[in-house]
């Protein structure tokens, strides 16, 4: 059965063909009404997408204020830059301390039976210059700050200074310079209004461990100069230092640097003991003043002089 709408269209077409004049007929078809229970499919719109709106930047507007987080990061940046600059200054000052402390040690090694007072006096003056000129720079940089935070920047210079100071004291009095005495000597360089620089126990122990090597060289030199008893005293002192540190090192928290120095210290003790033992056993073959025209004296070996 032909729908009623199509019938109406056919009738209109036949009517148009029978008319003599051209007549324009507009046919309007109503959109079908959606029936209940049926889905309506919408046809795509023929109109294009809406035109894009371009964003514009206002150049005359004032910049927004800095945020609180940005200001905090700026403060952290300034702090880290200042810390790095201080670390570089400490490294340079530590190198100066190391170099001048080694000069003091070389000066002490020139000691002999004839010039002991003169050599030690010059060494003490050089050591005082190291404290005033170079240790003073470390004190000014580190006073009132966290010493442990920058310890790696200056520890080697402090260890060398402790080695020179204890070596000079041992050659003068035969005793070991204590940590309290070293820290008391640095108080005059510090400002009383801030916390003064205090050398920590670890750096002191590491410096004392290095002292054994210098005492070993001194003992060998004293044996060659005929001061065997002095060399025996040095051997006894180095042995005591090694024994005390042997009890202390196991209590330290994984300090590999100290363990290596303990191995070197043991080698120094063995060298001094072998030298003293060799002189004691083979004293008759020993010549105290090699190249001297004076007759050798073997009385200090405990034996009678030979004709």
> Which residue did the predictor score with more confidence, 163 or 69?
163
pLDDT digits (tens, 9 = 90+) for 278-303: 888 876 565 544 444 445 454 444 44
Determine the average pLDDT of the residues in 71-86: 88
pLDDT digits (tens, 9 = 90+) for 204-215: 999 999 999 999
Q: What's the confidence (pLDDT) of residue 129?
A: 93
At residue 137, does pLDDT exceed 50? yes
- Which residues, 6+ apart, have CB-to-CB distance to 204 below 8 Å? 162, 179, 182
Helices 116-130 and 68-108 pack at an angle, to 10 degrees, of 170
Determine the average pLDDT of the residues in 111-123: 89
CA 16 to chain CA centroid, Å, is 105
Q: Cα–Cα distance between 103 and 96 in angstroms, integer?
A: 11
Measured in degrees and rounded to the nearest 5, phi and psi for residue 261 equal: -70, -30
Q: What's the confidence (pLDDT) of residue 185?
A: 87
Determine the average pLDDT of the residues in 61-69: 65
- Which residues, 6+ apart, have CB-to-CB distance to 202 below 8 Å? 252, 255
Q: Cα–Cα distance between 2 and 13 in angstroms, integer?
A: 16
Q: How many CA atoms lie within 13 A of 51 on its CB side?
A: 3
CA distances from 217 to 115, 207, 214, 275, 299 (A): 18, 16, 5, 11, 24
DSSP at 132: I
CA 301 to chain CA centroid, Å, is 51
Q: Cα–Cα distance between 101 and 127 in angstroms, integer?
A: 7
Determine the average pLDDT of the residues in 236-264: 88
DSSP at 302: T
pTM for this entry: 0.68
Determine the average pLDDT of the residues in 110-125: 90
């Amino acid at each position: 059965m032909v729908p009623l709408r199509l019938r109406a269209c056919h009738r209109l077409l036949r009517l148009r063909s029978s008319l003599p004049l051209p007549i324009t007929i507009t046919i309007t078809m109503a959109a079908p009404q959606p029936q209940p229970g049926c889905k309506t499919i919408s046809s795509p719109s023929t109109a294009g997408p809406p035109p894009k709106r371009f964003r514009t930047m206002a150049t005359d507007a004032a910049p927004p204020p800095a945020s609180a987080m940005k200001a905090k990061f700026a403060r952290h940046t300034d702090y880290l830059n200042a810390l790095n600059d201080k670390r570089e200054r400490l490294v340079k000052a530590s190198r100066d301390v190391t170099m001048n402390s080694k000069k003091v040690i070389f000066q002490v090694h020139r000691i002999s039976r004839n010039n002991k007072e003169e050599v030690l006096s010059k060494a003490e003056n050089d050591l005082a210059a190291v404290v005033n000129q170079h240790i003073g720079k470390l004190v000014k940089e580190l006073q009132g700050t966290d010493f442990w935070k920058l310890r790696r920047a200056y520890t080697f210079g402090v260890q060398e200074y402790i080695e020179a100071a204890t070596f000079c004291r041992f050659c003068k009095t035969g005793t070991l310079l204590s940590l309290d005495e070293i820290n008391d000597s640095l108080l005059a360089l510090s400002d009383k209004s801030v916390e003064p620089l205090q050398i920590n126990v670890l750096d002191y122990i590491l410096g004392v461990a290095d002292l054994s090597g210098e005492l070993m060289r001194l003992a060998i030199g004293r044996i060659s100069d005929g001061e065997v008893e002095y060399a025996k005293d040095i051997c006894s002192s180095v042995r005591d230092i090694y024994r005390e540190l042997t009890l202390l090192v196991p209590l330290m928290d994984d300090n590999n640097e100290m363990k290596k120095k303990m191995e070197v210290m043991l080698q120094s003790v063995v060298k001094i003991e072998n030298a003293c033992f060799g002189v004691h056993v083979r004293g008759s073959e020993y010549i105290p003043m090699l190249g001297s025209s004076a007759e050798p004296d073997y009385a200090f070996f405990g034996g009678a002089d030979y004709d």
